[in-house]
Structure 1
């Protein structure tokens, strides 16, 4: 199968598992572009969403440095984890506590932003790096013109999430994770430009989004962590509404001990109907799905490589 030409360079030559001097960027200018990028066409380019920003050796999760490292190897969006500080700033941190991923201890919410900025992040092996805990606003400003950030649901109030997107005019490169149709309704009624990573794991959930009149143009569907035959009718029902579907391999296939088995699992997810994979192993998953990229796609226009 021929691989697609992106930015006049062969994708198979630029996504190889070796760092590039440039970044694989998504050319998404606004909310309209973002909706078009996530619209299912049946001939889309499969891609990766880095879980917690991508979890790779030397680059701490939920760090801007991890995002950049992933983009040197593969196009990607990033699922990230906003949390509140003692002084109501929003930083990126998956856990409620600092112990696992920093040289600090205790709860994130017990420290001010200034205190957290003095700490340093650890990588996936627990090695201390020179990298700081980023604020959500720093990440949003960095991501513009490069990628799409997907905000997971932690302890930040909906009002604050909606406000930081509005203030930064970030509807074109920041999405919000919603677990229910009612959550999507809350955001949509306040800002109809926001696009969602929506939990749609069942036909019943699909019907609930329709009952709340959430436009399918504003949804990318998370269907769960397992690639199973029972998903086929759900894929069909979502795809015919123009919705792309995503499986997260972080709690499942990323944990397989054998690299060949992981590659097989990543490829099967795309072959069986998902459009993208949310992975801890962002670089490995990105390389695994290279053979599945179509020779031609209407989505080619969104993919580019910076010099």
Structure 2
């Protein structure tokens, strides 16, 4: 009887692992195939409204919701350990104080993370390696600020078996990206960030599309007075997906999370239907997922 129970438990665990791997493979395939049939959801710093930002628990809750990509930030300690942290100092998000590059990991590990209300929690600052192992097979990871330590990051990806689970973004030129990351781009998905308010924005887009054929662009613009975003769905159709951030109003012409709370069709809906967004990064992942599911635009 005990043997049967153990076999059953083993089968359940194996099935869960296969499902997780399949889920990541499906998200990656949607990106690589420039699939426009649904909208991919990226959660900014994990689900930080319910757990401390950049914590393992914030990543876990995003996974439970059904988020496709979680954005996390990297910093490096004095002794060379990569940790999940947005700020160069630990003051805002932990119970400690000091500049990360001047602190050892052991000293940071003794602190507690704070939540969005600046209250101490039981949670601790994770290393990048811990986060990669924790999220392996469960969700795509967008590593912000990772290009500063790319070789070290890539070694950790190889060590943890997560090389095909990673998205990186940046503002470097196509030539510089290929020079710095060349062979790594077979595994790691790189998305250029283009500010559409700059005079050379369209030139940048054309050059990236010609030289790198990126799976997607992260696009930024401050207001609807800029008409360039309206022309891009047609221009990029079948070539690259469009990623917009709804974190605050100046990132996507005012069509942000706050506008979407008042009227999701004017916020998220406008980005999707008029501007062709198929990846949206949000600070309100559950709200966005509910909206997308009501329109059959997300599983």
* TM-score normalized with structure 1 length: 0.77
1:286 matched residue in structure 2: 289
- 1:26 and 1:75 in contact (8 A); partners too: no
Structure 1 residues 282 and 182: CA distance shift in structure 2, 3 A: farther
2:187 matched residue in structure 1: 193
Alpha-carbon shift at residue 274 of structure 1 (Å): 0.1
- 2:78 and 2:101 in contact (8 A); partners too: yes
- Equivalences, count: 265
Distance in 1 between residues matched to 2:194 and 2:258, nearest whole Å:
25
Higher Rg of the two aligned structures: 2
Give the secondary structure class of the aligned counterpart of 1:41: coil
Give the secondary structure class of the aligned counterpart of 2:163: coil
Aligned match for 2:22, one of 22, 27, 32: 27
2:272 matched residue in structure 1: 270
1:236 matched residue in structure 2: 234
Residue pairs, 1:217-256, within 5 angstroms: 219-224=215-220, 228=224, 229-241=227-239, 243-252=240-249, 254=256, 256=258
| Cα-to-partner distance string for 1:66-115 (whole Å, 9 max, x where unaligned) | 11112222333111111101100000000111111111112111211111
Give the secondary structure class of the aligned counterpart of 2:177: helix
Give the secondary structure class of the aligned counterpart of 1:72: helix
Distance in 2 between residues matched to 1:86 and 1:28, nearest whole Å:
36
- 2:52 and 2:115 in contact (8 A); partners too: yes
1:56 aligns with 2:58: no
Segments of 4+ moved more than 6 angstroms? none
Unaligned 5+ runs, structure 2 = 1-18, 196-200, 250-254
- 2:193 and 2:217 in contact (8 A); partners too: yes
Distance in 2 between residues matched to 1:133 and 1:154, nearest whole Å:
17
Structure 1 residues 109 and 37: CA distance shift in structure 2, 3 A: same
Structure 1 residues 155 and 233: CA distance shift in structure 2, 3 A: closer
Instruction: Give the number of the structure whose residues are more often helix, by fraction.
Output: 2
1:85 aligns with 2:77: yes
- 1:226 and 1:247 in contact (8 A); partners too: no
RCO greater where, 1 or 2, for CA within 8 Å and sep 6 or more? Answer: 1
Alpha-carbon shift at residue 200 of structure 1 (Å): 3.6
Structure 1 residues 264 and 55: CA distance shift in structure 2, 3 A: farther
Alpha-carbon shift at residue 203 of structure 1 (Å): 2.2
Unaligned 5+ runs, structure 1 = 1-23, 295-299
- Alignment RMSD, CA only? 2.7
Distance in 1 between residues matched to 2:124 and 2:221, nearest whole Å:
30
* TM-score normalized with structure 2 length: 0.78
Give the secondary structure class of the aligned counterpart of 2:219: strand
1:13 matched residue in structure 2: none
